[in-house]
A and B are shown apart, each in its own frame.
Chain A
Amino acid sequence: MTDVTPQEAEFIPPAEVAEVELYHPHSWWTRYVFSQDAKVIAIQYAGTAMSIGFVALVLSWLMRLKLGFPDTFSFITPDAYYQFMTMHGMIMVIYLLTALFLGGFGNYLIPLMVGARDMVFPYVNMLSYWIYLLAVLVLVASFFAPGGPTGAGWTLYPPQAITSGTPGGVSWGIILMLVSLILFIIGFTMGGLNYVVTVLQGRTRGMTLMRLPLTVWGIFTATVMALLAFPALFVACVMMLFDRVVGSSFFMPAVVDMGTPLPHNGGSPLLWQHLFWFFGHPEVYIVALPAFGIVSDLIATHARKNIFGYRMMVWAIIIIGALSFVVWAHHMYVSGMYPYFGFFFATTTLIIAVPTAIKVYNWVLTLWKGDIHLTLPMLFALAFIITFINGGLSGLFLGNVVVDVPLSDTMFVVAHFHMVMGVAPVLVVFGAIYHWYPKITGRMLNETMGRIHFWVTFLGTYMIFFPMHYIGLVGIPRRYPELGDTAFIPPSVHTLNEFITIAALVVGAAQLVFLFNLFWSLRYGKEAGDNPWRATTLEWQTAGTPPPHGNFGKELPVVYRWAYDYSVPGAPEDFIPQNDPSPLTQGGPA
């Protein structure tokens, strides 16, 4: 492959693609409620996701209270604990993180960053949000249904998920859960089509794939993965719904429940595990890849440096996306599968660590000798890197069959996945909100409140999840509401549990500060201007802030360069926007 530098043409040919005709809202309702503008839909998605995420946060407090002070909180029954745990896990992973990264940030950033006026199918995009909202409402409804929500664990393993021993198993809980997931997937598919086709088709002139900001790469790849992985969950949910409602036997072997044989016969619970984890593992990366992309952009912008190894970053995203489809069975080491399969999946799991490690190195190398501004987005990005390395290291342990078998289903696993897929992406969410809030609202978030929020959250989560590793190594199983007086448990575990609970409550309180800040700054925040971070990407070059309907002015921007021209030698400023025709590049004049 030769390096051909395209000629510098003075004349830009007019857009060959006719600009997509915009739908213009005619009333207050179609402007703010049933809006087809991706920016409004993004805010609707994000608002809904954060609201339901808050419910999940409250559930985690309740769980922690029970774990820390079992006697005081004896009114939280084991059944209630299981219900809280299930809802907490499910909401956090799917209804909060997936919806927020793809529906929230995807909707807001994709059209702006690729230089489009809107998503390509605005009407379908609007439907996507309303179906998502319906899914959330069905989920919430299960809290008020007779029997309460399901307590089957977020993996919903059969047969226990639909037997009478599990809360919600033979009442409404599990049905509403499955219906809600099915709705979510339908809604997501509608949105996902938009995100993918907009990146493929909506790019403005000059915006080649290799000029896309990594945020778009991350969201795009994650969406492609989600479009292929969610069908597995869909199939699994439909099949379980058959078992539960019609009484068929996809997953249900012949079971005797409390002395009475159930009508099922001949189902295979293992089938569920395969389908579920075929979705479940890519899901980890569906959450992680957008986070990777966003962090890359935050670091480059706030360290005023071009991202180190842009090409490698892109390739790594693609490779991680592809590989994560062939590792699902590492969640099933203890399900009694054929040992050679275990070997295969352990190998692919370790291989996937390579591109991930490359990304971490590149972030660190980008920071190296950068002009680091410790702004709030930067702080969160740094915290993400540290947390991700930590969680990744414990993951390397768990990727080995021999190590995983004894640690499987202990609090060690809980600590591990909270570090990598709980805390790390959430830190990115915060960083991204501090970064793009000025564009969305025109005002900066309050700095003092932000710093309090950051330090309490960052240090606090360590106080929560570090001791948990230790508790797991001692052998404390996960999903146990109470430990009781078991002989092998040293008293230090109880003390630690109390400590963790208090830390969790403090971290929770910090999120209230953040929430308050979001509303307070709307009104009293400092005016931001169009480009407060002096960033290069197109969303900061719009015709006003917040960007108007149609995003850009009369004409769409033309892109002349990649997204990371920070501190270019010889340039008058330390950044060159993507739509700046100057011939300067990182290596001198082109």
Chain B
Amino acid sequence: MTAILIFLAAILAIVGWWLSRQRLMSKPWLEAGPVTAFPETEAPDTHPAKIGLGVFIAVVSALFALLISAYLMRMAYVDWQAPPMPRLLWLNTGTLLLASLAMHCAVVAAHKGQLDNLRLALLTAGLTSIAFLAGQLLAWQDLASQGYFVTENPAVTFFYLLTAMHGLHVIGGLVVLGRTNIRAWQSDRTAGLVLSAELCAVYWHALLIIWLILFAVLMGWAGNFIDICHRLLS
């Protein structure tokens, strides 16, 4: 359960930092009156959707941290036999990177008010993400053609499970991105459109980071890294 505990420590740090700004030491029973004196303790005026997305990403990250924890725990058993990783995964990683980059361009374009660039970037992001999913499917096919079916051994099942979970989250994002695309191609630049682009971009970056970590875990690098840490400690 190392991965999830590290993740929880990170969450705890964020929550702790936020709470430390909330005057938890104050004595509310002695303070009456409007609190204009402490603006940071009022509800922030960030758009709720942004905070909502942040919380959602935390939940998704917890999900993957737990999957990785389970993976690492199982990996420690002697009978662990990881399948050969399809080379295609490298290409897929690149595609997802492109999608994330495109999302970044979309936000920049949205802020500058360049509607054409925004449309182009959103479309590119959508198409590269679809390419990523197709690539993942091909990777599955590749693995299966070598005889590594889902039930082969736990390592193989984990590979399918982790990639499938990640893919499902990409598909979920694509639904929203698709709607943003439609909106961008139908209407002019509105505040709502800028917000949607920003939200999609954040989600895509998060999915990219999660994928990079998953990739490292699946390639066995994370395991090696933990090994080195253990050696250093003992």
Which residues in A have some Cβ–Cβ distance to B below 8 Å? 1, 3-9, 12-13, 16-17, 20, 120-121, 189, 192-193, 196-197, 200-211, 224, 227-228, 231-232, 234-235, 238-239, 242, 246-250, 263, 265-268, 271, 274-275, 278, 306, 310-311, 314-315, 318, 322, 325-326, 558, 560-562, 564-565, 581-587, 590
Which secondary structure characterizes the binding site on chain A? loop
Q: Which residues of A contact B29 (CB under 8 A)?
A: 306, 310, 562, 564-565, 585-587
> How big is chain B's contact interface, by range?
35 or more
Q: Are B24 and A311 in contact (CB under 8 A)?
A: yes
11 interchain pairs (CB within 8 A)?
A5-B30, A12-B34, A207-B43, A227-B59, A228-B58, A246-B151, A248-B157, A249-B154, A249-B157, A268-B73, A311-B24
Whole-angstrom CA separation of A326 from B48 in the bound complex? 31
Q: Identify which of residues 1-38 in chain B touch chain A, using a CB-to-CB cut-off of 8 Å.
A: 1, 4-5, 8, 11-12, 15, 19, 22-38
Which among A227, A275, A310 is the interface contact of B55 at CB below 8 angstroms?
Answer: A227
Whole-angstrom CA separation of A16 from B44 in the bound complex? 10
Q: Which chain B residue has the least Cβ–Cβ distance from A558?
A: B34
Top-6 shortest CB links A-B: A6-B37, A562-B28, A208-B41, A231-B63, A120-B48, A248-B157
Which among B36, B70, B158, B165 is the interface contact of A6 at CB below 8 angstroms?
Answer: B36
Assuming A13-B36, A325-B8, is B1 touching A274 (CB within 8 A)? Answer: yes
Does any Cβ of A come within 8 Å of B52's Cβ?
yes
Q: Are A267 and B154 in contact (CB under 8 A)?
A: yes
Q: Which residues of B contact A311 (CB under 8 A)?
A: 24-25, 27-28
Q: Are A249 and B151 in contact (CB under 8 A)?
A: yes
Q: Which residues of B contact A121 (CB under 8 A)?
A: 48-49, 52
Assuming A3-B26, A197-B55, A232-B66, is B42 touching A203 (CB within 8 A)? Answer: yes
Q: Are A266 and B153 in contact (CB under 8 A)?
A: yes
Q: Are B34 and A231 in contact (CB under 8 A)?
A: no
Interface-centre pick from B19, B22, B42 (highest chain A CB count, 10 A) = B42
Q: Which chain B residue has the least Cβ–Cβ distance from A200?
A: B51
Q: Smallest CB–CB gap between A425 and chain B, Å?
A: 24
Q: Are B35 and A206 in contact (CB under 8 A)?
A: yes
Q: Are B11 and A228 in contact (CB under 8 A)?
A: yes
Assuming A200-B43, A201-B43, is B52 touching A209 (CB within 8 A)? Answer: no
Q: Which residues of B contact A565 (CB under 8 A)?
A: 29
Q: Smallest CB–CB gap between A270 and chain B, Å?
A: 8
Interface-centre pick from B36, B43, B62 (highest chain A CB count, 10 A) = B43
Does any Cβ of A come within 8 Å of B193's Cβ?
no
Which among B1, B15, B25, B31 is the interface contact of A5 at CB below 8 angstroms?
Answer: B31
Given A200-B44, A558-B34, 19 more A-B residue pairs with CB atoms under 8 Å apart are A1-B26, A6-B34, A6-B37, A16-B45, A17-B45, A120-B52, A203-B42, A208-B38, A228-B8, A235-B70, A246-B157, A248-B150, A249-B153, A249-B157, A268-B73, A278-B4, A311-B25, A311-B28, A561-B32
Q: Which residues of A contact B158 (CB under 8 A)?
A: 250
Whole-angstrom CA separation of A3 from B29 in the bound complex? 11
Q: Smallest CB–CB gap between A3 and chain B, Å?
A: 6
Q: Residue-by-residue, is B57-94 near A (CB-CB < 8 Å gives 1, otherwise 0)?
A: 01100110011011001100101000000000000000
Q: Are B32 and A582 in contact (CB under 8 A)?
A: yes
Q: Which residues of A contact B157 (CB under 8 A)?
A: 242, 246, 248-250
Q: Residue-by-residue, is B207-221 near A (CB-CB < 8 Å gives 1, otherwise 0)?
A: 000000000000000
Q: Smallest CB–CB gap between A38 and chain B, Å?
A: 14
Does any Cβ of A come within 8 Å of B145's Cβ?
no
